[in-house]
Amino acid sequence: MIRFERVTKRYEGAPGSEGDGATAAVDDLSLEAPTGKITVLVGPSGCGKTTTLRMVNRMITPTSGTISIDGRDTASLDVAELRRGIGYVIQAAGLFPHRTVLDNVTTVPRLLGTDKKAARARAMELIERVGLDPAMAGRYPAQLSGGQQQRVGVARALAADPPVMLMDEPFSAVDPVVREQLQNEFLRLQSELGKTILFVTHDIDEAVKLGDQVAVLRVGGVLAQLDSPAKLLAD
Ligand code: ADP
Ligand code: ADP
């Protein structure tokens, strides 16, 4: 479980960051993301979703409060060790442009010491499981569609088999038809893998479709936290 306890982030130099009542990017957030579930953070642009996600892998340091994973305070862990256990997928897949699909997926396991043959075998399996034609393994990112690139991004994040996945609008940059395919494939994959996922979106429909649990954020705080996303539509 990922647990946020009274987490606040104020960016230095942001307007009003020194005064009382200033708007923090994330303000006193408490939240639990259960193990093996998809927890969606939904809310408008600027409400602090990306900031929240990036505090988990310590790309951003909270101003106050604690974030723990399975009871271990992330602030007390070695950053490299922390990040080994966390996959990260962003909107623009962010693939290494000069590496093939296969090499994109094997890079992290290779850096972690997995031997080449095993890393490649695992990569090919993941490439298929995210719905890519294995024949694409030798292509370069620029030779792929946006949807295919996002699939590679997901495969790459899964390659080191991290228990936790942070996903920041991973399906937002593709057209609606492809988005729906990606969502469905993602749900199928997650039903097999059971990762602990924090998923950020501004799209309520996506939140309801994907979330086992949904937290609705607004600028300056949490509006509601629902264990049953269907309640969102009822409100
Ligand atoms: P969201 O992901 O919901 O769009 P963000 O976490 O990106 O929200 O941003 C939350 C707030 O923090 C916004 O007001 C944004 O302008 C501000 N912010 C984000 N990053 C920085 C930064 N590096 N420096 C100063 N302010 C920032
Ligand atoms: P490494 O030990 O660094 O993984 P490789 O022999 O796998 O070395 O790769 C060397 C270069 O060949 C890399 O730049 C990579 O992009 C390219 N390459 C590796 N596999 C393929 C492939 N299946 N198709 C096309 N290029 C490849």
Amino acid identity, position 27: D
Half-sphere exposure of 122 (CA within 13 A, CB side): 20
Taking 50 as the threshold, does the pLDDT of residue 22 lie above it?
yes
Q: Which two tokens stand for residue 191?
A: 């039903």
pLDDT at position 197: 97
The contacts of residue 52 (CB under 8 Å, 6+ apart) are 4, 7, 26, 29, 41, 198, 200, 217
CA distance 48 to 26: 5
Mean pLDDT across the stretch 2-31? 79
Which long-range CB contacts under 8 A does 173-176 form with residues at least 24 apart? 173/91, 173/92, 173/146, 174/146, 174/147, 174/150
pLDDT band of residue 99 (cuts 50, 70, 90) is very high
Mean pLDDT across the stretch 56-71? 97
Mean pLDDT across the stretch 64-78? 97
What atom in ligand 1 is closest to the CA of residue 51? 6
**Is 50 touching ligand 1 by the criterion CB < 6 Å?**
yes
With beta carbons less than 8 A apart as the criterion, state whether 28 and 202 touch.
no
> How close is the Cα of 103 to the center of ligand 2, in Å?
6
Taking 60 as the threshold, does the pLDDT of residue 199 lie above it?
yes
- This model of the complex carries an ipTM of 0.64
Span 100-125, pLDDT tens digits:
999 999 998 888 888 999 999 999 99
> How close is the Cα of 49 to the center of ligand 1, in Å?
8
> How close is the Cα of 74 to the center of ligand 1, in Å?
21
With beta carbons less than 8 A apart as the criterion, state whether 47 and 29 touch.
no
Amino acid identity, position 69: I
Q: Report the percent of the chain where pLDDT is more than 90.
A: 70
The pTM assigned to this predicted structure is: 0.82
SS3 49: helix
pLDDT at position 20: 47
pLDDT at position 152: 94
What atom in ligand 2 is closest to the CA of residue 106? 4
With beta carbons less than 8 A apart as the criterion, state whether 106 and 124 touch.
no
Residue ID of nearest Cα to ligand 2 atom 22: 138
Mean pLDDT across the stretch 186-204? 94
| Range list of H helices, the chain | 49-56, 79-84, 101-111, 116-129, 146-158, 176-193, 204-210, 230-234
Taking 80 as the threshold, does the pLDDT of residue 17 lie above it?
no
**Is 25 touching ligand 1 by the criterion CB < 6 Å?**
yes
> How close is the Cα of 138 to the center of ligand 2, in Å?
9
CA distance 44 to 31: 18
Taking 90 as the threshold, does the pLDDT of residue 226 lie above it?
no
Residue ID of nearest Cα to ligand 2 atom 14: 99
Mean pLDDT across the stretch 208-231? 78
Looking at the CA of 54, name the nearest ligand. 1
Mean pLDDT across the stretch 44-70? 95
pLDDT at position 232: 65
pLDDT at position 201: 95
**Among 103, 139, 143, residue to substitute to test ligand 2 (most atoms within 8 Å of Cβ):** 103
**Is 49 touching ligand 1 by the criterion CB < 6 Å?**
yes
